[in-house]
Structure 1
């Protein structure tokens, strides 16, 4: 297939599979269009398609990083054929699809007809969630602290899990826009990407080093240097080993009959396509392929400005009796401090079956969930209610002991 914007490098041979042929159609100019952060090619496109250009460009870059493909091979067909020779058929087809879509956009100045919904999804996510700004800032932080390496995390099962792409998240938001409308209007617009598949020990160690480094650079920051995290010792190795003490998706906070699953069980079900997240619909629904990660929406600290500014920070838990609904938003009295874990669990469980409940669609937080906002805003967030639109990762329970603690007051 030749292209009007640049010279085709070579024709594929009759023995090439469709995926291989798709991967081979590349050129030096094609490489430049992908690699240049400031691209004249992008600027030559109609404004409504430039966001799609950037999304595809980032998808290709992330794919090459995850699979160890030298970026310079995108402009060298022989090298590209060599380095992609060991890819699985599914990965090869994925790369071919990305390159062909990018090529079509460059050649025709617009996406393929079937991709128009993707463009709409990205524009929708931009308008309602400032998605690109939020996504880029979180990816940058995850890379900075060493959690995200070459676009993936290392799970407790030894497998690597690529970070959900902006495209995946945008499509999911767009597909669920009617369901999400109430939560959006309640102020749930703050994106949170959580590397759920990593061990809790690794995440805690990362957070501890992050806090110590922050204290070093900010001496006035109040931090107990001897015990920066103040965590229970029972959390050590709680999600790994032959008998993990930490379970997720519990139906009750009891040692027996809690109905929860271990992290290893959840990861296995995800990899086999057997795990259906909350509100996900049928198994295998498009857009759910984010194993090893959870993607959440929380309330930011500036919900009244969410339509004009990027959501910032995370709303604190109000003290008992001091919670007030945010102005100009759909009424929802915030959950306050002062209740027991069982009371919070009961509120959220009852809300799942009541679409008229202001808490419908919300779940609790896991230890993995609150570590991420802690790094972002420098304060603990042990319990928050939030809307989980890709995966449900409900209140956790340590099966070795029943928790009777209460949320820390804001």
Structure 2
């Protein structure tokens, strides 16, 4: 017998208070420390031989220091316009800080992900995604794993970020993609304090809601499942409520 279809519940505006100054003075520090610690424990950060700071050496061979908490705060408050933009997106639910060592080879991040999955499985801590991450009463569902192939990788991705075959931030899926290679992105950001890293904000739940179950927050409708790969970038480009948003890179996804 098929499961009962839940009744349709119309979207409603979710009223949530948010104060940027409070987030900057408390949440930012806590989240920054958590992300930096995780990257270090995964072995993705090192003491850079030339500058002496903690960071990464990118695929272009250049040292990229880990952006500091102060630099992130300064970027948010850089101008009245940027401050207003961050306030708007945070009121829409983008309050979780992520720091991605984008400049590292994709192969290295894949290897770290494989080892992390194997470690969790051997410790009995590999579980399916919860429907509601905030629901402590929801039981955890253990996952089976083929330890010989814990992580499937499309063979075309091998060295795709270093040989220029992989294109980032395309505006369309065609020869006229208007995206950039990793080398081009690293070159464009070489004078930035964030060079070699993706520093961004995301929604608290890393899973987008099922079709028809998204909410409206701060005048923005959550993106939902059920759309094609072409639909999502089109929505981000065409609708005002999604301005200044972008999809995640493989590097972002691997280091969540």
- Shorter-normalised TM range: 0.7 to 0.9
1:360 aligns with 2:251: no
1:203 aligns with 2:115: no
**Which structure carries more strand by proportion?**
2
Instruction: Identify the residue that residue 240 of structure 1 maps to in structure 2.
Output: 162
Contact 2:167/2:182, CA 8 A, preserved across alignment: yes
Quote the Cα distance in structure 1 between the aligned partners of 2:124 and 2:35.
22
Residue 195 of structure 1, CA deviation: 0.6
What's the TM-score, normalizing by structure 2? 0.77
Give matches, 1:388-407, under 5 Å: none
Give matches, 1:288-299, under 5 Å: 288-299=192-203
Aligned with 2:189 (options 270, 285, 302)? 270
1:336 aligns with 2:224: yes
Quote the Cα distance in structure 2 between the aligned partners of 1:321 and 1:257.
33
Task: Choose between structure 1 and 2 for higher RCO, CA contacts under 8 A separated by at least 6 residues.
Answer: 2
Residue 227 of structure 1, CA deviation: 2.4
Quote the Cα distance in structure 2 between the aligned partners of 1:333 and 1:122.
25
Quote the Cα distance in structure 2 between the aligned partners of 1:317 and 1:124.
23
Contact 1:122/1:171, CA 8 A, preserved across alignment: no
Which digits, 9 at most, give the CA deviation of each residue in 1:296-338, with x for residues without a partner? Answer: 100113xxxxxxxxxxxx3x1112222223xxx4132211111
Aligned with 1:259 (options 178, 189, 201)? 178
Quote the Cα distance in structure 2 between the aligned partners of 1:217 and 1:154.
31
Quote the Cα distance in structure 1 between the aligned partners of 2:125 and 2:84.
47
1:125 aligns with 2:24: yes
Aligned with 2:41 (options 129, 135, 144)? 144
Contact 1:196/1:293, CA 8 A, preserved across alignment: yes
Quote the Cα distance in structure 2 between the aligned partners of 1:238 and 1:220.
29
Residue 269 of structure 1, CA deviation: 2.4
Instruction: Identify the residue that residue 26 of structure 1 maps to in structure 2.
Output: none
Which digits, 9 at most, give the CA deviation of each residue in 1:230-272, with x for residues without a partner? Answer: 232211111113xx21011322111x2212211012212222x
Which digits, 9 at most, give the CA deviation of each residue in 1:49-105, with x for residues without a partner? Answer: xxxxxxxxxxxxxxxxxxxxxxxxxxxxxxxxxxxxxxxxxxxxxxxxxxxxxxxxx
What's the TM-score, normalizing by structure 1? 0.49
Aligned with 1:174 (options 54, 62, 77)? 77
Instruction: Identify the residue that residue 324 of structure 1 maps to in structure 2.
Output: 215
Structure 1 gap ranges (5+): 1-120, 274-287, 302-313, 352-356, 374-410
Quote the Cα distance in structure 1 between the aligned partners of 2:69 and 2:22.
12
Residue 344 of structure 1, CA deviation: 0.7
SS at match of 1:135: helix
- Bigger CA radius of gyration: 1
Quote the Cα distance in structure 2 between the aligned partners of 1:153 and 1:269.
17
Quote the Cα distance in structure 1 between the aligned partners of 2:172 and 2:39.
32
Instruction: Identify the residue that residue 33 of structure 1 maps to in structure 2.
Output: none
Quote the Cα distance in structure 2 between the aligned partners of 1:235 and 1:174.
38
Instruction: Identify the residue that residue 218 of structure 1 maps to in structure 2.
Output: 124
**Which structure carries more helix by proportion?**
1
Contact 1:161/1:291, CA 8 A, preserved across alignment: yes
**Distance change >3 Å, CA 332–CA 122, structure 1 → 2:** closer
How many equivalent residue pairs?
212
Contact 2:55/2:64, CA 8 A, preserved across alignment: yes
SS at match of 2:29: helix
1:134 aligns with 2:56: no
* RMSD, aligned α-carbons: 1.9
Aligned with 1:154 (options 41, 44, 57)? 57
Instruction: Identify the residue that residue 192 of structure 1 maps to in structure 2.
Output: 98
Contact 1:124/1:174, CA 8 A, preserved across alignment: no
SS at match of 1:247: coil
